[in-house]
Amino acid sequence: MRLRNVTGSREIIADSRFVVHEPFEYKGKWNAVFGNDHPLQIEIGMGKGRFMMDLAAANPDINYVGIEKYSTVLLRAIQKMEEHELSNLRFIRMDAEDICEAFDMGEVAKIYLNFSDPWPKDRHAKRRLPSRQFLARYDAILAKDGRIEFKTDNMDLFDFALGELEPAGWQLEAVTRDLHHDEKMLVGNIMTEYEEKFSSIGNPIYKYIIFRS
């Protein structure tokens, strides 16, 4: 996913009004960023931002924050926002490990994880975004009745993610191993860049929606 040799991406990001540059300063105050008290939803590992942009355009009464670790990738999302500005969407360049520094307890209404990096080696399991270590971070920032929605085409990552739920105190609200042929769960589905790519070559898309026990 990382696009190399994009010169000046850090400078462009530093100048962008679509990026919240000091996210830790807005912990507990995200309403001030958007100038309203609409609910806040976030995507962690947003990539080039297609999903966030389509979701924000479809739901003007919800505020969205897209979080991406790499400048070169975030740059693509900024370029898209320059073409089609959305007042209810902002970006953060940040490693999700620091998520609890950026959002207060219960401040987030929903978290989206889309096609998260699989980190296939066992010793890297805690880096996987649906791991119990990350679920504990999400527990801290998500509203009591909040939901996490996770999509992937990686069966091993999905099986791992399912196994993490009970030990971390989460329950399934809905689950499918073939989203694009699941009439109920497909309603309102917004495709991500990776979803488009992998479903077009015939890979089934796995999805869960979870809440706290």
Site membership for ligand SAM, residue 162 (CB under 6 A): no
110 CB-near residues (< 8 Å, 6+ apart): 39, 41, 42, 142, 146, 147, 148, 149
How many residues form the binding site for ligand SAM (CB under 6 A)? Answer: 20
Within 176-195, the residues that bind ligand SAM by CB under 6 A are 192-195
DSSP letters along the chain, please?
-PPP--TTHHHHHHH-TTB-S-GGGGTT-HHHHHTS---EEEEES-TT-HHHHHHHHH-TTSEEEEEES-HHHHHHHHHHHHHS--TTEEEEE--GGGHHHHS-TT-EEEEEEES-----SGGGGGGSTTSHHHHHHHHHHEEEEEEEEEEES-HHHHHHHHHHHHHHTEEEEEEES-GGG-HHHHTT----HHHHHHHHTT---EEEEEEE-
Site membership for ligand SAM, residue 114 (CB under 6 A): yes
Site membership for ligand SAM, residue 73 (CB under 6 A): yes
Site membership for ligand SAM, residue 96 (CB under 6 A): yes
Beta-strand pair 40-44/108-114: parallel
Residue 117: active-site member = yes
Site membership for ligand SAM, residue 152 (CB under 6 A): no
**Shortest distance, position 159 Cβ to ligand SAM, whole Å:** 18
**Shortest distance, position 35 Cβ to ligand SAM, whole Å:** 26
Site membership for ligand SAM, residue 119 (CB under 6 A): no
Pick 23 or 47: Cβ nearer ligand SAM: 47
- The site string for ligand SAM over 42-71 (x = CB under 6 A, - otherwise) reads --xxxx-------------------xxxx-
Exactly one of 54, 104, 117, 139 is catalytic; name it. Answer: 117
**Shortest distance, position 114 Cβ to ligand SAM, whole Å:** 4
Pick 101 or 166: Cβ nearer ligand SAM: 101
Active site residues: 117
User: Where do contacts with ligand SAM occur on this chain (CB under 6 A)?
Assistant: 1, 44-47, 67-70, 73, 95-97, 114-115, 117, 192-195
